[in-house]
Structure 1
């Protein structure tokens, strides 16, 4: 029998009742790019940096509000004799449309006051240089990664963060945004794996016991709009199939650690608005490929020469629906993939044109 060890409660505002221009203005809040994360992981492996993780507890409660926001007193906690009155929020709380943005702004102001500089390309990557020492901070909502060669600077940063926010020190980083981090510092190796995430995806779609596939997509496989439902019966059949959900799950794995399914997932994404049974079978094939390769991980290792190596390729109007070319690229650092993409070109090409690559 399960034993309840801890209970939690959270007051959440009814953000859906907020009015634009009155209760909030901007809501955008940046998060670190996956490319940035992988670049830093490659540098951690190459330079044998310390890599630690911290978590901001109840992060959205840290933001200051720029607007006057009022809310009803929560049921069961009304002040006796003042039931007709409302609460004026002094700070942001969960549920507010601007909560994430205000949390980011508060963190940004705080960390830059400690000498960190915001990266001009990725606003959630910060760098602090102290003499010959440096420390890099990666922010992903409430998850923080710290990479440095100096343990003293690491401790100073942790102490500063703990004084300004309620923090949880996770020690050496091992799991962040559904990515497992493995290190073999003696051999200069760092690996990023999503085996646990893939297992959950397979279980969610009842494919955890499925046989594996050796490839995510077969050479010569073609998908087009002619494979989409053509009548009401076919459309009704597809309504019960979670196509968009499985493509979204595959997309997250592809975005984080699996460039090998980038082309296949990109093809599947083109038909999300009206998928057919052939598209569904193709999505399951990609899932079966992950079943057989879930132990794969992105690996970075220390080398004699740290350099970026890039590859690119494009077909010639390969999409039969739009006559657009499909292009792709892959960049490596520390002998591991840091950036990749497979997508349709923005331009449609006439079949009589010739393309020299």
Structure 2
């Protein structure tokens, strides 16, 4: 719809959060009271490293948006929509990064000014790269690759390679969808697969003479099974 999309982030976002429960912490190194070394600190605000910090920050920021007049999307709690008369503003939040778009530049400017008065904001300009998404100015794929025949030749070789390298199956399938009219961005993805192949040329699954006849499946994902990450 040709709306302006700007990107902003919040400086020291987690330090803005207000705690709604009692939290104590040990005196930080370098700031220990020598006369009372066994005492602890009572936190009034959230700090980095605190488990409650992300929730406290989100609660404070979302409360501000709701007071301003935004409505939180039911489908996606990270999306906030402001609609007054004919003015529409949309804000998508990811931790302390956000993108803002709307149909009225003046309304957006007024909102961003109000936002900067509440939080320490950093203006990053027009959206360039956000959560793996890179917008293009052209309506299509962006700048076209100058040698599509060479692109198709490499992509075809990848297809043969997937017979013995199933780990690149998804990436090759994605690249082959771009063979008709590849862009420079598509060629960069192709080169990324090439670099991956070069870096893993000595890796593989070995079947020796004494290998048993048990069927095994291999995956590079543990489906969020790690309790720490």
Q: TM-score, normalised by structure 2?
A: 0.64
Report whether the alignment pairs 1:71 with 2:25.
yes
Question: What SS class does the counterpart of residue 296 from structure 1 fall into?
Answer: helix
- In structure 1, the residue corresponding to 2:33 is in which secondary structure? coil
Instruction: Supply the distance in 2 between the matched residues of 1:289 and 1:116 (Cα, whole angstroms).
Output: 41
Structure number with the higher strand fraction is: 1
Match of residue 51 from structure 1: 5
Aligned partners of 1:156 and 1:288: how far apart in 2? 46
Q: Equivalents in 1 of 2:124, 2:10: separation in Å? A: 11
Q: Verify: 1:295 aligned to 2:185, yes or no.
A: yes
**Change over 3 Å in CA distance of 1:57–1:48 after alignment to 2:** same
Q: Distance in 1 between matches of 2:141 and 2:40?
A: 52
Contact 1:216 1:289 in 2 (8 A): no
- 2:166 corresponds to which residue? 282
Match of 1:170 among 124, 134, 155: 124
SS in 2 for 1:64: coil
RMSD: 3.1
2:39 — aligned with what?
Answer: 85
User: Partner residue of 1:155?
Assistant: 109
Runs of 4+ in 1 over 3 A off after TM superposition: 211-218, 284-294
User: 1:72, CA displacement in angstroms?
Assistant: 0.7
Q: Does 1:120 align with 2:10?
A: no
The question of whether the paired residues in 2 share the 8 Å contact of 1:137 and 1:146 is answered with: yes
Offset at 1:107?
A: 0.9
Q: Deviations over 1:302-344 (max 9, x none)?
A: xxxxxxxxxxxxxxxxxxx9xxxxxxxxxxxxxxxxxxxxxxx
Deviations along 1:244-287, one digit per CA (max 9) or x if unpaired, are xxxxxxxxxxxxxxxxxxxxxxxxxxxxxxxxxx6xx3114555
Q: Are 1:215 and 1:289, in contact at CA under 8 Å, matched by a contact in 2?
A: no
How many angstroms apart in 1 are the aligned matches of 2:97 and 2:17? 16
The answer for unaligned runs of 5 or more in structure 2 is 143-152, 179-183, 188-214, 216-229
TM-score when scaled to structure 1? 0.43
Asked if structure 2 preserves the Cα contact closer than 8 Å seen for 1:65 and 1:92, the reply is yes
Distance 1:216 1:95, change over 3 A: farther
Deviation per residue, 1:133-162 (Å, 9 max, x gap): 111111111111111121111111111211
Shift in CA distance, 215/130, structure 1 to aligned 2, threshold 3 Å = farther
Could you tell me whether the CA contact under 8 Å between 2:175 and 2:186 is conserved in 1? Answer: no
Deviations 1:70-93 (A, max 9, x none): 111111122342322111111111
User: Structure 1 residues 114, 85: closer, same or farther in 2, change over 3 A?
Assistant: same
Number of equivalent positions:
171
- Per the alignment, residue 141 of structure 1 pairs with 95
Please state how far the C-alpha of 1:130 moved relative to its aligned partner. Answer: 2.2
- In our comparison, the structure showing a higher alpha carbon Rg is 2
In the alignment, is the contact (CA less than 8 A) between 2:5 and 2:127 conserved in 1?
A: yes
Provide the residue aligned with 1:130 in structure 2.
84
Distance in 2 separating the partners of 1:190 and 1:64 = 45
Q: Distance in 1 between matches of 2:157 and 2:17?
A: 47
